[in-house]
Structure 1
Amino acid sequence: LIGLFSGLRKGKFFDNINLIIGLIFMSIPIFVIAFIAQYGLGLKLGWFSPTVGAGAPLKDLLLPALVLGVSLYATSMRLTRASVIDTLNQDFVRTAYAKGLSRGRVVPVHVLRNSLIPTVTNTATDFGTLMVGATVTEGIFNVPGVGNVLFNAILKGENVTVVSFVTVMVLVYLGVNLFIDLLYAVLDPRIRYA
């Protein structure tokens, strides 16, 4: 949504601020964001629990989820913004306005729907980044999950565990990419599969 609003308000204050924030988040690795969030928001401010142990309440997972979300936010926002700006200059959007359609109809149906195709493609690649980031984040925040098991197996040199977990993660990644490819037909009816 922020990418959509930035694209619709290209060059305005909201757009410029989001470009700067996105650039900052893109340039910081996920483990640095995790350590800064853990120290600043968890230890210093006390807003979140700095670590998550076994049996911790669900709200303790909020900080690791925010760290993962922030790491993917920047690329998705910037790509959506660029795609919206490109779509706004297309002939079919000008035709929709010329036919008398309102902005409330043109933006969600014509602009957003066509702008989501590159963003959805990027989401498939970001899913791999999310799995790797979850491994690092779960290790840093001590979240008892698949990523933490893989993180500890890498640290201990348990090759069989690492290979088996990575194999399952690759299969999940392939399944998500297949789903994303099938989703193209929903977003753009011009795309047909034989």
Structure 2
Amino acid sequence: MNLDRYHQALVKDKDTLHAANEVLKEICAPDPLDECYEEYKRLLKAPVQKGKSMKSNWAYFKTIHNRNFNQDASKEDRMKETDVFRTFTWQLPKAYKAAILESRREKYTEAKTLELLEKVRISVESEGNDKNTKGDRPKVKCTNCEKKGHLAADCWSRKKTNSDQKAQLANQDTQRNPGDGKSGGREKH
């Protein structure tokens, strides 16, 4: 951030202008602690970055974690790398749960655990690219009725846009279930 032209015109001396710009930069500088906090929160929300291997995701997590928690700590206060790795694995999405529990039960090494998690990551990403999958059902939204949990092709309440369509739907219902004719064919026997 710099002083605008109006304020630059008020200050005749270049040294004073430079000093004023430096003070302005210090005042407007973002808080590094706030940036660290936001960076770590973003990391916890999305621990697995698309297109990156588990090994690189782990290295990124470890770097951010150490920068935020172990930088100023004494050797006794620093978390062991195994604890940091456990923190990384336990905050992964539910799709990784079976692999995480297996690696903990069998006491796998870090490398073997990362290899196992990489296989899960590849299968999870390939599921998302599969055109036959219809997505996570609770998150999808129908374009017909605007309700969540199903797609328009599976919509149970067809959107009726005009009276002809309503009449056609009523005729279809009557033909499917003729009934006794008194209630328009809506009762079932």
TM-score normalised by length of structure 2: 0.29
Higher relative contact order (CA 8 A, sep 6+): 1
TM-score normalised by length of structure 1: 0.29
Quick check: which one's helix share is greater?
A: 1
